[in-house]
Structure 1
Amino acid sequence: MLIRIVSAPCVSAYLNLDHHFVELGEVAAHLRDRAGHEVRVVDGVLPEVTWDTVVEEALHATGLVVLHVTLDNTLETARTIRLLRQLSPGTRIALYGRGAYHLRRLFQRTDADWIVLEQDWEPALAEIAAQVAAGAEPGPVPGTLTRTAGTWTRGPAGVRLAGDWELPALDLLPVAGYARLPADESYPGREPERELAVGLSRGCDSYCGYCPIPDVMGRHEYFRTGLDTLAGYLRAARESHGYTAVSLFGANFTAHRDYVHDFCARVGTPRTGVTWKCVTSHAELDPPLLGEMAAAGCTRVAVGVESLLPDGRNRFSGRVGAERLADLGAWCAAEGILLICFVMVGLPGQTRHEVAVTLDTVRAAGAVPRPMTYVDYRRLAAAEDFADVFWANRKTVSEPFGRGILSMRDTALAVHSWERWLDTVGPADGRPSDERPSAAPRRPAL
């Protein structure tokens, strides 16, 4: 059976291609290579994918269409469902993705047949495909909501793949189109490179109020197995498509030190010819581990700083403080690793001074801030209209899904151009007018 996986065309506010490699590429590979279906991917993140493209697919759709739902394309996904019902009324429609999870209440007002809620998404979609291929009426599927005779029914708990999930199917993704898209972020000294992403872990053991990962992916982080297979895949991706770097998609790469040792030995650049980047927590990082990672080809590490108080403490328990951040910046610099720091803007009660302190401290540590707008994802479930979701994107503004006291203009400017925003903060906000730290990080505390 031919399965069309469609990510509806939209104008992205925040373009992160990691999601497309992982959420589209890994799902497509599973449905083809494990479930045995023919798969076509239509990714509306590309400007050449228009509504005419969607209409053409809808006119020829039979069997099953799987719609990938992001927080950018929720309104467009609702339109796609309507198009499919009008142009191909016998086609079954399944929804999955972060947008499907957060906005299930809104999508239950549409004519979709299934809403996949739990990762791993792949077993649920494979079971849905099996039902459609057999000509069966929609029935409850683990990890989903199923619409039968106009009533939605929650299925049993979803099935886990236990770290054994597919790698992105590069032959099914529009990788040539991805290469033409501008990078969402640029970093000092960044060399030209062609980067793909693979999912290295799913879920997260921490439960932070500003992060959707534990809700969407599960409250336990589990890691990809088959590292030799991953190494071979990266070598092949370099030879076939010219990829020189890989982003390891996951919440906390260094959560288990033995796993890091194993990864560095089996998937490091000496074996693949591909450098790599990761996201992790500051707590597990130290000079010996960073040295090992650098020797294995790690060029960039990102950690969550979120927000620092004027006295250097972090607003959140367990997050990095100013002193530790200075050490971490020095350790990374000594190994030639670029340190990226995620900063939340618009948190409840967060002042202009607090944001400025955070950005100044990150810069003084020799790191690069990456500010993002705070969104209360749990409030997002109360959205009354698909169009409202535009305001819940980390590159737009926070209202009505954030509770911060910063103005919308402050929030947007700090996220889009944090250096320009810092120039607007001075003594009236409690920040000395000459406070523009640019010094090298202090010596590491070994």
Structure 2
Amino acid sequence: MKLLFLWGPQSIFTGSLFKHYGYFGETIGYFERKKSFDISVMDAGVELFAYRDYVRELDKTELLLLYIEPYNIESSIKIARVAKGINPKIKIFAFGVAVNYMPEFMMNSGTIDAVPLNSEWELCIEDYICYLNKKISNDDLSPIIIKEGDQWIKGNKVKSLEGNLWGHPALSKLPIDKYFKLTGRKQLEINVSKGCPYPCTFCAEHVIFGKKDKRRSVDNLIDFIDQTHTIADQYYFSAATYTLDEDYVKEVNNRIINLPYQVKWRAVTRIDRVNEEMLRELSEAGCYKISFGVETLSSNLQKDILKPISQEKLLSTFEMCKKYKIIPRALIMVGLPGQTKEDIKYTYDKLNEWDVEVRAKEYFPYNDMLRKNNVTMNDIKKLDRTEFYHNPVPDISYSEFMQLLYRNKDI
């Protein structure tokens, strides 16, 4: 079967490249490893394609696997419409963060044939292919919606992909040189976990991937490093809270330390999920930077977003990182509901006083979207990352707001 994995067109945001490697690239890698499909890839999230490029690929594609983010929904639906016009026999399976948020909206777009209802995208796609080939009963289908004429068929058999079977980013198919050029470094990125038990109100992780922390097996991770260390200068181990599973972290540390070459890498975690012994071991294993989800130093806002953090704990953790030559990085949010100019200034001033690297990100109303019964295209437009200014902060101009964000090198 001829498969085309296509990331819908959008403005380029290098801070989201982990999704190109992980959500998109690892799904491709899972099917590439099976060696039973003719696979093409178009990452229009980082590459510019001419209309004829789409026509040539879509005309020979049997199944279009369309990856959709909240900020490229409109362009992706347009691509799906073009695909059906060029090749009426093509089947379109849409997946990605936006699809998990609003599967019925996608199905009602009129051009999409199937969507997953959970984040086990590889297994949902696999079952849809089996469905098209009449090799699976409806009772055995993963949680997906399939359009069959005027009817919707819904699968509901929950399945989970074991950590040793997670795909590696499909480096032979992805525009890796483009990724390297965009970031200015040869950094490879790989998902080490999906899901998060914490209820932070602004975050999509637990909504998309569930509250259970699911991990790539250590053997699988080390195998990827072993295959790619000659082309990568460093790695990003993508996880909402990398150090949540302490036994896993210890095993990874020990395995990396015993490799015959050095590995430089970074990760993200929470302030309350590290201690001095762990930081020392992380440093010995090559971890050079840890980003911590600080969000805000306003105690009232911390309560609102269900993420209280004491300043004493923050400062002591940052100092321990520096002690072991790990760069601490604070991830903060601008535009949180109820946030004031004074809140933002106080947060910046404190972090600068503590000599901590800061990355600001705009607040997006992802979870508000889940509470809407009927999502409209006007709602979708609010998720356009080229606009940014969705939740203005009193007394902060648009220019000031944008400058706060563009201090971030990973826009």
- Both structures adopt the same fold (TM-score exceeding 0.5): yes
Q: Please report the RMSD computed on the Cα atoms of aligned residues, expressed in angstroms.
A: 2.8
Aligned match of 2:219: 228
In the alignment, the residues of structure 2 paired with residue 248 and residue 366 of structure 1 have an alpha-carbon distance, to the nearest angstrom, of: 24
**Does the CA-based 8 Å contact 1:392-1:398 persist in structure 2?**
no
**Structure 1 residue 386, shift from structure 2 partner:** 4.3
**TM-score, scaled to structure 2:** 0.89
In the alignment, the residues of structure 1 paired with residue 316 and residue 387 of structure 2 have an alpha-carbon distance, to the nearest angstrom, of: 33
From the superposition, tell whether residues 203 and 408 of structure 1 become closer, same or farther in structure 2 (CA, over 3 Å). farther
AA aligned opposite 2:91: R
Question: What does 1:427-446 correspond to in 2, within 5 Å?
Answer: none
**Does the CA-based 8 Å contact 2:32-2:39 persist in structure 1?**
yes
**Structure 1 residue 272, shift from structure 2 partner:** 4.9
Aligned match of 1:438: none
In the alignment, the residues of structure 1 paired with residue 163 and residue 85 of structure 2 have an alpha-carbon distance, to the nearest angstrom, of: 39
Which of 323, 331, 336 is the aligned partner of 2:325? 336
Deviations 1:243-264 (A, max 9, x none): 1111111111111211111010
Is it true that 1:25 corresponds to 2:25 in the alignment? yes
**Does the CA-based 8 Å contact 1:299-1:336 persist in structure 2?**
yes
**Structure 1 residue 304, shift from structure 2 partner:** 0.8
Question: What does 1:211-360 correspond to in 2, within 5 Å?
Answer: 211-225=203-217, 227-239=218-230, 242-268=231-257, 270-309=259-298, 316-360=305-349
Other structure's SS at 2:70 match: coil
**Structure 1 residue 221, shift from structure 2 partner:** 1.0
**Structure 1 residue 287, shift from structure 2 partner:** 1.7
From the superposition, tell whether residues 57 and 408 of structure 1 become closer, same or farther in structure 2 (CA, over 3 Å). farther
In the alignment, the residues of structure 2 paired with residue 137 and residue 112 of structure 1 have an alpha-carbon distance, to the nearest angstrom, of: 21
Aligned match of 2:200: 208
Q: Choose 277-286 or 14-23, whichever is displaced more.
A: 14-23
**Structure 1 residue 392, shift from structure 2 partner:** 2.0
Aligned match of 1:186: none
Other structure's SS at 1:45 match: coil
AA aligned opposite 1:172: K
From the superposition, tell whether residues 366 and 286 of structure 1 become closer, same or farther in structure 2 (CA, over 3 Å). farther
Aligned match of 1:431: none
**Structure 1 residue 387, shift from structure 2 partner:** 6.5
In the alignment, the residues of structure 1 paired with residue 65 and residue 225 of structure 2 have an alpha-carbon distance, to the nearest angstrom, of: 27
Aligned match of 1:414: 404
Aligned match of 2:81: 82
**Does the CA-based 8 Å contact 1:141-1:156 persist in structure 2?**
yes
In the alignment, the residues of structure 2 paired with residue 313 and residue 210 of structure 1 have an alpha-carbon distance, to the nearest angstrom, of: 11
**TM-score, scaled to structure 1:** 0.83
**Does the CA-based 8 Å contact 1:30-1:122 persist in structure 2?**
yes
Aligned match of 2:90: 91
Deviations 1:20-75 (A, max 9, x none): 011122111212324732222111123343433222211222x2111011123211
In the alignment, the residues of structure 2 paired with residue 318 and residue 387 of structure 1 have an alpha-carbon distance, to the nearest angstrom, of: 30
Higher share in helix: 2
Deviations 1:256-287 (A, max 9, x none): 21111101011348455331111111112122
5+ residue gaps, structure 1: 184-191, 420-446
Question: What does 1:117-266 correspond to in 2, within 5 Å?
Answer: 117-134=117-134, 141-164=141-164, 165-181=166-182, 183=183, 193-225=185-217, 227-239=218-230, 242-266=231-255
In the alignment, the residues of structure 1 paired with residue 84 and residue 160 of structure 2 have an alpha-carbon distance, to the nearest angstrom, of: 31
Question: What does 1:373-392 correspond to in 2, within 5 Å?
Answer: 373-381=362-370, 382=372, 384-386=375-377, 388-392=379-383
Deviations 1:357-414 (A, max 9, x none): 1112222222111111112212235475446534325674253xx4865656154332
From the superposition, tell whether residues 194 and 247 of structure 1 become closer, same or farther in structure 2 (CA, over 3 Å). same
Q: Choose 112-121 or 31-40, whichever is displaced more.
A: 31-40
In the alignment, the residues of structure 1 paired with residue 213 and residue 195 of structure 2 have an alpha-carbon distance, to the nearest angstrom, of: 4
From the superposition, tell whether residues 4 and 272 of structure 1 become closer, same or farther in structure 2 (CA, over 3 Å). farther
From the superposition, tell whether residues 166 and 107 of structure 1 become closer, same or farther in structure 2 (CA, over 3 Å). same
From the superposition, tell whether residues 104 and 268 of structure 1 become closer, same or farther in structure 2 (CA, over 3 Å). farther
Is it true that 1:66 corresponds to 2:65 in the alignment? yes
Other structure's SS at 1:209 match: coil
Percent pairwise identity: 20
In the alignment, the residues of structure 2 paired with residue 137 and residue 88 of structure 1 have an alpha-carbon distance, to the nearest angstrom, of: 27
From the superposition, tell whether residues 360 and 101 of structure 1 become closer, same or farther in structure 2 (CA, over 3 Å). same
In the alignment, the residues of structure 1 paired with residue 353 and residue 408 of structure 2 have an alpha-carbon distance, to the nearest angstrom, of: 14
**Does the CA-based 8 Å contact 2:195-2:212 persist in structure 1?**
yes
In the alignment, the residues of structure 2 paired with residue 238 and residue 198 of structure 1 have an alpha-carbon distance, to the nearest angstrom, of: 13
5+ residue gaps, structure 2: none
In the alignment, the residues of structure 2 paired with residue 321 and residue 341 of structure 1 have an alpha-carbon distance, to the nearest angstrom, of: 14
Other structure's SS at 2:244 match: coil
